[in-house]
Amino acid sequence: MPALRSPEDLLATELKEIHSAERQLSRALPRFSKKVQTPRLREMLEERREQGAVLIERIEDALEDMQVPKGRQKNIAAEALIEDMTQHIEESENETLVEPLLLASIQKIEHYCIAAWGTAAAMGRLLGQENVVQTMEEVLEQGKRFDDEMTKLAEEEVNPRMLDDGETREMADQKGAREKNARSGPGSRQSTARGSEGADLKGREYRDENGQVHHHTRTYTEQHGKK
């Protein structure tokens, strides 16, 4: 990173970091879009990629106006957020979790971008860089609208589908358990009764002194208990 000697250097650094974040995101979004099934979410990711492409060009124009060299500066914060998103999606063993994870991760990145855009806009106003101010204010408005739409999509469609799938699996498990119990028949229930230590001895087998097999009933037990 070059030395920071003036407020203009600080603004240039902010713009270069935004430039890097958008470049990294533009490469990642097409890869993640392939994992998306929800049409609206796929459309929004493409819209965000296109917005980023325009922003990259406008930042390059702003840096040229400021007579700042175009040396690239890697945004490690954006890199970490994208890597975190990649790791969580790769670790997901349930396909219904992929879109909620992706949507939440994109919103985290967008919140970071909104903060960066706001910072650059404030610095641009202070330094009289109208091109920077106009660019950042426009992208701020777009970013906040995008974030609101993502929240609405998550709450109304993507996240509820994840819960519905969980309930479906639970119902299937319960049905399977009922069918298994039905197949086991009376013999299985009798075996369970023999293994329990409850006070009710109904269903338990015993042999009398002649070797004949009998089944306990409470009445029979009480009668023999009195002898």
Beta bridge partners of 205: 215
Instruction: Please state, in angstroms and rounded to a whole number, the distance separating the CA atoms of residues 67 and 52.
Output: 22
pLDDT digits over 131-180, tens only? 999 999 999 999 999 999 999 999 999 999 888 765 444 444 455 555 55
Is residue 8's pLDDT more than 50? yes
* CB-based burial, 123-149: b 16+ in 10 Å, e otherwise: bbeebebebbbebbbbbbebbeebbee
Is residue 192's pLDDT more than 50? no
DSSP letter at 221 equals: H
Instruction: Please state, in angstroms and rounded to a whole number, the distance separating the CA atoms of residues 137 and 118.
Output: 8
Look at the chain and count its residues: 227
DSSP letter at 97 equals: G
Give me the domains of the chain, ranges plus CATH numbers: 7-165 (1.20.1260.10), 190-227 (no CATH)
Q: What is the pLDDT of residue 124?
A: 97
Mean pLDDT, rounded, for 205-224: 58
Q: What is the pLDDT of residue 182?
A: 63
Percent of the chain with pLDDT over 70: 71
